[in-house]
Structure 1
Amino acid sequence: MSTKDYLEKDYYKVLGVSKSASQDEIKSAYRKLARANHPDANKGDEQAEERFKEISEAYSVLSDEKRRKEYDDARSLFGGSYRPGGGTGAGGFDLGDLFGGAGGGTGAPGGGERLSDLFGGLFGGRGRAASSRRGADVETETTLTFNEAAEGVTRTFALSSEAACPTCKGSGARPGSAPKVCPKCAGTGHESKNLGGFSLSEPCSECKGRGLVTDDPCPTCSGSGRGKSTRKIQARIPAGVSDGQRIKIAGKGAPGENGGPAGDLYVVVHVQKHPVFGKSGENLTITVPVTYPEAVLGADIRVPTLNGMPVTVKIPPGTPSGRTLRVRGKGSRRRDGTLGDLLVTVEVQVPQSIGPEAREALEKYRAATSDQDPRRGLEARAKGA
């Protein structure tokens, strides 16, 4: 990508967010657009594919605080309008301002350093274009059962991205021939442009930054050395993930260019509900019904666990409905391999119908406890509120 392309592309507009958008807003906009324009969801739609590339490129810059600041500084420096010829004009950039006055040279204190620092950050080196580029980040989704999310699972993902052309193996030359060092840039992949007082490096216009050219280009990739690749990778989803969590798997995104590192893979996890168990942080939850006598008198009850081996839980006498008891080490697996706890919430069950003997016993119990009014003082407290 040329300097002009970089500076004139409005990444905020691509993602549909304001320049003051937070990282959460940027991430939300990216996820929504990436899902709608993903190549897997738009088979054969080249326009959606190009749109997906633009979205990924914009997110790779704006999601990185350092790169975002450099991008904002560059656009502010040139007023959003970069002109290789330099000079001033309506909406243009006065090179003299950079060096403290019209006609100032690179000898002005700090001037050359500031510009070099700025473009060094943007293009991978102090004042020169980088010949390698990091691969784009890739986002996908997967759905796990509750048990898989609790214990962790390895999943296979089919990803579509750019990679080395399968015909020429990335050389850009027709099989049987070989590329040669670009004579214009001597293989560096960049060339200097005079901007009226200082020079700025850009990707070489002859080799497009590759450092190589060929007299007999590959018929598959037209000499670019790049092609579409569908690959399958295996990735481990760690234990204890929650519904909606976004997992980063480093180095599993799109391959880099010219020896650059691969991007990262982001997996959005959806977790199916379990008919019995729930999740609270690193712990599992379960609601267990008990009878009224068990709650009043106490009892030892059997409670299921996620691994299928029930545990015995002691219900203390006088346990109220809604009380939660903790069973240590019987929850789901944490990322460090240890087990969380099982939180057992007691729910006292009231029978819908009872027999004559049970009714008689309850009537006697009510008579014996008639002096125990659980609502005593409630109305007075309500009036005093």
Structure 2
Amino acid sequence: MADHYEVLGVSREASPDEIKTAYRRLARQLHPDVNPGEDAAERFKLVTHAYDVLSDPEQRQRYDMGGDSAFGGAGAGFGGFSDIFETFFGGATGGGARAGRPRSRRERGQDALVRVDLTLGDVVFGVHRDLEVDTAVLCETCQGSCCQPGTQPVTCDICHGSGQVQRTVRSLLGNVVTSQPCTTCQGYGTTIPYPCSSCQGQGRVRARRTVSIDIPAGVETGLRLQLPGSGEVGPAGGPNGDLYLEVTVEPHDVFSRDGDDLLATLEVSMVDAILGTSVTIDSLDGSVDLDLRAGVQSGDVLTIRERGITPLRGSVRGDLRVAVQVVTPAHLDPKSRALVQELAKRTKPGPPHLAEFHPGLFAKLRDKFKR
């Protein structure tokens, strides 16, 4: 008689959990439903008997002291069979196996993903889009029944509508009834003798359709918007999945985004910077008048309230921040140069020098170049 520990492949000091794990691993390999060979059936008997003995503390102690003779050989006792049955079938033993329910042909459709390109103006105000989507839609011929018009599914002759077939397996405890999906009807309990010719019995077809969507203001690149129930229709006319819109915002030539604010750079001539001036700029939602004070400096930031972006979850728009950049002429005609030299004599500017550190100046420059 083989040693029970050798049969299970464990040491004599193995813990109960190690014994149970070894038994389940071997049982999965050797069970008659999985391995119909005669040698496997004999090994399955040995494995099960070894587990019965070693899983019971009292019997294991007696076995360790006196061997296997006290237990009537390999055919005695199969209390551990419930473990293997639960492993394979998850149900009770014997001839009364619970019949499963047939599958439903109607299933939820898959989600769909569509990428949409937006301009910065779309982001500021929000936009309405009609999107063309290539997806699965309900078959207009059969309306999701999967059958040719005038016909209907019929009860499966093999499983009689249960979607399951049973077979009896001879085991050491007698006959064990197992249930498996019916291969004739694929577990649905019905068959379709005359599938719809338009959808080949799927209840849905591929087609292009239009989805209307109002994209809110404040979205940004990478954001996904969910449209529940706007994805693909499911098999047999099942409920639709969801549609996701992935947003990409195209760069703008003039404006850039900083949170809910818009940034821009205003180039000002040296003369206008010295004397001051008024200027009209075109923002994304119309013209805006700006007054530049005399002596405005490069890096100065002019803030125009509520001309930025409406936040995704909010109502107060951000600001438009305009950074001033004074443009120094690179080339002057002799007359202009003489005028500048005369100005230099009158203003008597000092030579260039390092000034006192002003943190605010760097903050302005950071805002200016953050584009």
Do the structures match in fold with TM over 0.5? yes
Q: 2:128 matched to 1:154?
A: yes
How far apart, in 2, do the equivalents of 1:189 and 1:229 lie? 32
Match of 1:342 in 2: 320
Shift of 1:256: 2.2
Match of 1:257 in 2: 235
Distance change >3 Å, CA 130–CA 218, structure 1 → 2: closer
CA contact (8 A) 2:136 2:233 kept: yes
CA contact (8 A) 1:210 1:258 kept: no
User: 5+ unaligned residues in a row in structure 1: which ranges?
Assistant: 1-76, 90-94, 117-126, 379-385
CA contact (8 A) 1:128 1:200 kept: no
Map 1:258-337 onto structure 2 (within 5 A).
258=236, 260-292=238-270, 295=273, 301-312=279-290, 315=292, 319-336=296-313, 337=315
Match of 1:8 in 2: none
CA contact (8 A) 1:136 1:264 kept: yes
Map 1:159-308 onto structure 2 (within 5 A).
159-182=133-156, 204-258=182-236, 260-292=238-270, 295=273, 301-308=279-286
Distance change >3 Å, CA 200–CA 134, structure 1 → 2: farther
Distance change >3 Å, CA 325–CA 221, structure 1 → 2: same
CA contact (8 A) 1:189 1:211 kept: yes
How far apart, in 1, do the equivalents of 2:131 and 2:165 lie? 40
How far apart, in 1, do the equivalents of 2:255 and 2:125 lie? 14
Match of 2:13 in 1: none
Shift of 1:347: 1.2
Larger Rg: 1 or 2?
A: 2
The number of residue pairs the alignment matches comes to 275
Shift of 1:115: 7.2
Shift of 1:339: 1.7
How far apart, in 2, do the equivalents of 1:326 and 1:280 lie? 13
Match of 2:354 in 1: 375
Shift of 1:331: 0.8
How far apart, in 1, do the equivalents of 2:326 and 2:240 lie? 56
Deviation string 1:238-288 (CA, Å, 9 cap, x unpaired) is 222334544333322111235644222233333333332222222222111
Structure holding more strand per residue: 2
CA contact (8 A) 1:306 1:332 kept: no
How far apart, in 1, do the equivalents of 2:258 and 2:329 lie? 30
Q: Which amino acid aligns with 2:229?
A: G
RMSD: 4.6
CA contact (8 A) 1:188 1:211 kept: yes
TM normalised by structure 1 equals: 0.56
How far apart, in 1, do the equivalents of 2:323 and 2:187 lie? 64
How far apart, in 1, do the equivalents of 2:32 and 2:211 lie? 43
CA contact (8 A) 1:172 1:218 kept: yes
Shift of 1:200: 7.4
- Quote the sequence identity (%): 30
How far apart, in 1, do the equivalents of 2:197 and 2:282 lie? 63
How far apart, in 2, do the equivalents of 1:233 and 1:193 lie? 50
2:123 match: secondary structure: helix
Deviation string 1:55-78 (CA, Å, 9 cap, x unpaired) is xxxxxxxxxxxxxxxxxxxxxx9x
Distance change >3 Å, CA 304–CA 128, structure 1 → 2: farther
Q: Which amino acid aligns with 1:236?
A: D
2:121 match: secondary structure: helix
Distance change >3 Å, CA 251–CA 185, structure 1 → 2: farther
How far apart, in 2, do the equivalents of 1:160 and 1:174 lie? 25
